[in-house]
Amino acid sequence: MSSSSTPSLPATLPFEELAEAIKGRRSDYGHISGLQLDRFAPGEAWSSLPYRPVFVGDTETGVLHGGVVTAMLDESCGMAVQLALDGTRAIATLDLRIDYQKPATPGLDIKAHSVCYRTTRSIAFVRSTAYQESEDDPVATATACFMIGANRTNMLADRRMDSRSIPTLEAPEDPDGPFARSPFARCLGIRVNDDGTLTMPFSPKIIGNPILPAIHGGMTGAFLETTAIIGVAHELGAAAPPKPIGLTINYLRSGRALDSFANVSIVKQGRRIVAFEARAWQDDADKPIATAFGHFMLRPTPGSDEE
């Protein structure tokens, strides 16, 4: 749909109508994942994501994939930004920093409380907390910057996704593949290439803005994190995947309706901590759509003194 055919909203949308529009017209992935806006206030959003087995990152522990938390926080922060505005302008994530406080308890829903604490003419600043039973005991915390008036689209004026066309989040079995223990990575269709890069094929379920269409920023973040985990573990010959500590994602270009590719390099390696940098691109490796810098904690080798 072109921007010229998108129905326009009033110059200022009444707040209750704005909140209802956000509830019904979220990103495609947000809608498919089951993310809900539970409560709202000006510039403030409380959301929840029901637990689903497909969100698991490691079936041996049952812990959710970090990318699921990243995608939820990205979208929840976006809700808070929209609730601080008037509903007439498109927004886009510029950068998102995630600090993982502890693994999510398997089987429990994830909740998030996001606050847009400042807006300028062009930029919105947000902080968010993801938790399960208590906000005082977070699973992860995030800070983000969003661009206001990022493009000419307006998702809040577009029609809600037709329920008959909603894709499903399914993880095909692949017992011998590199993601045998990661349903969410299999759900995204991520595969490892012979040259060590990874590919995330484009699919309708990873769309954020359906009007452009553009890949959900959280999905790009999930892809970068997966690339880093696989690449670092392979480079170091680690028996177990490293544990994410923190991740900062910089969004450089819109992820279009194309396959995405990514690689990772180790910036610094310590005895327990590894710093890495990952980058994702589409049709031109010299024009990345996003980069990520972060730290992993290496898991002790069985039988070592650190166990």
**What residue type is 208 in one-letter code?**
G
pLDDT at 8: 45
pLDDT at 96: 98
Q: Which token pair is 154?
A: 């307006």
Q: 15-153+169-297: what CATH class?
A: mainly beta
Entry field: residues in the chain: 307
Q: What is the pLDDT along the chain (307 residues), one digit of tens a residue?
A: 333 334 444 456 789 988 988 888 778 899 999 999 999 999 999 999 999 999 999 998 898 999 999 999 999 999 999 999 988 888 999 999 999 999 999 999 999 999 999 999 999 999 999 999 999 999 999 999 999 998 877 777 654 545 446 788 999 999 999 999 999 999 999 999 999 999 999 999 999 988 888 999 999 999 999 999 999 999 999 888 899 999 999 999 999 999 999 999 999 999 999 999 999 999 999 999 999 999 999 987 655 554 4
Q: Where are the domains of the chain?
A: 15-153+169-297
Residue 142 makes CB contacts below 8 A (sequence gap 6+) with 73, 74, 77, 96, 97, 98, 99, 126, 127, 128, 129, 130
Q: Which token pair is 51?
A: 């637990």
The angle at the Cα of 232, spanning 227 to 235, to the nearest 5 degrees, equals 125
Enumerate the H helices of 204-298 as residue ranges: 217-236
Rg (CA), the chain: 19
**What residue type is 257 in one-letter code?**
A
pLDDT at 157: 67
pLDDT at 3: 38
User: Is the peptide bond between 213 and the residue preceding it cis, with omega within 30 degrees of 0?
Assistant: yes
Q: 38 near 30, Cβ under 8 Å?
A: no
For 210: left if phi > 0, alpha if psi spans -120 to 50, otherwise beta; the answer is: alpha
Q: 206 near 219, Cβ under 8 Å?
A: yes
Closest of 140, 68, 65, 67 to residue 98, by C-alpha: 140
pLDDT at 14: 86
The angle at the Cα of 132, spanning 65 to 205, to the nearest 5 degrees, equals 40
48 by DSSP, 3-state: which? strand
Q: 124 near 45, Cβ under 8 Å?
A: no
Per-residue three-class SS string for 13-44: CCHHHHHHHHHHCCCHHHHHHCCEEEEEECCE
Dihedral sign from CA coordinates of 31, 254, 71, 176: positive
Nearest 5°: phi and psi at 304? -80, 165
Q: 156 near 18, Cβ under 8 Å?
A: yes
